[in-house]
Amino acid sequence: MLNFLQANLKKQYLCHYLKNTMRIDIITVSPELIKSPFEHSIIKRAIDKKLVEVHFHNLRDYAINAYGKIDDTPFGGGAGMVLMIEPIEKCISKLQKERDYDEIIYTTPDAKALNQQTANSLSLAENIIILTGHYKGVDQRVRDLFITKEISIGDYVLSGGELAAAVISDAIIRLIPGVIGDEMSALTDSFQDNLLAPEVYTRPANYKGNKVPDVLLSGNFKKIDIWRENNAIARTKRIRPDLLD
Ligand code: 6GU
């Protein structure tokens, strides 16, 4: 945690002086499916402020023939289509000729699940590619030859990796220094210290007899900090005891 805080701070200064912009290239069969999460709220603001650039690449533009062929049936038989290596290699190598990439990520349910630590470390990268899984997956040689990191977003199956790529990008982008106004707010989120966030309340202090804990109205910030810490620990024990192991 401390290492991440230090690295995040360092990036904050470096970005300020060098004016670097993080770049995410998303290679997908359905660019339209994935674009809208980048057009709203915090992520849109990050793009508008030039703290991050997100580029979408339609794999179909790298098809092996004029009919737009990018997938084929699996050798050995079985259901579903497999994305071919050639279009993917063409797209990745075009991007690699333009700049170096820190990671080439593949979204797939058969990988380790994304966690805050992975998001923290990816937020320090300069350029990343995310290849989104689709259909029955990609030819294994793509994973062996080009992919440096495989990420799932949990133990359930989505109909494609596009939503996962949006989730991963969001988790990364909000950590880039300057994206969230109050820097401490991203760094004190649930999971940053393996604890769930404490409960929060706002006005009215009494809603139809349901009262806000007195301590939060006390104005005693030391007591409030202690209450929040204890509340976070109690909630974590109750809801996610695995985080405390
Ligand atoms: Cl990354 N892709 C798909 N298709 N399903 C998922 C996933 C990814 N992560 C969890 N389920």
Instruction: Note the pLDDT of residue 18.
Output: 59
For 176, counting Cβ atoms within 10 Å of its Cβ (0-12 exposed, 13-18 middle, 19+ buried), the class is buried
User: 21-25, 55-59, 116-120, 177-181 — which is least confidently predicted?
Assistant: 177-181
Mutate to test the pocket of ligand 1, among 130, 157, 169 (most ligand atoms within 8 A of CB): 157
Q: Please report where in the chains the tokens 């294994």 appear, as a residue.
A: 140
List of domains in the chain: 19-173 (3.40.1280.10), 194-244 (1.10.1270.20)
- Is the shortest distance between the CB of 156 and ligand 1 below 6 Å? yes
13 confidence band (pLDDT: 50, 70, 90): low
Using the predicted structure, report yes or no on whether residue 2 has a pLDDT greater than 80.
no
- Is the shortest distance between the CB of 112 and ligand 1 below 6 Å? no
Closest atom of ligand 1 to 156 CA is 11
Closest atom of ligand 1 to 158 CA is 5
Closest atom of ligand 1 to 107 CA is 1
Residues 6 or more apart from 84 whose CB is under 8 A from it? 64, 69, 70, 71, 72, 139
C-alpha 113 – ligand 1 centre gap (Å): 9
CA distance 115 to 153: 8
Give the 3-state secondary structure percentages of the chain, helix then strand then coil, rounded to 5: 45, 15, 40
Mutate to test the pocket of ligand 1, among 30, 108, 156, 163 (most ligand atoms within 8 A of CB): 108
Instruction: Note the pLDDT of residue 187.
Output: 73
In 111-169, DSSP assigns E strands to 127-132, 149-151
C-alpha 130 – ligand 1 centre gap (Å): 13
pTM: 0.92
Partnered with residue 55 across adjacent β-strands are 25
Among residues of the chain, what percentage have pLDDT more than 70?
93
Q: Please report where in the chains the tokens 């080009």 appear, as a residue.
A: 146
184 confidence band (pLDDT: 50, 70, 90): low
Instruction: Note the pLDDT of residue 183.
Output: 54
C-alpha 149 – ligand 1 centre gap (Å): 14
What average pLDDT does the structure give for the chain?
93
Closest atom of ligand 1 to 159 CA is 4
Residues 6 or more apart from 160 whose CB is under 8 A from it? 29, 30, 33, 132, 133, 134
- Is the shortest distance between the CB of 155 and ligand 1 below 6 Å? no
Instruction: Note the pLDDT of residue 209.
Output: 98
Instruction: Note the pLDDT of residue 15.
Output: 56
Closest atom of ligand 1 to 154 CA is 10
Q: How much is the average pLDDT of 10-37?
A: 82
Q: CA 21, 134, 154 angle in degrees (round to 5)?
A: 75
Using the predicted structure, report yes or no on whether residue 114 has a pLDDT greater than 70.
yes
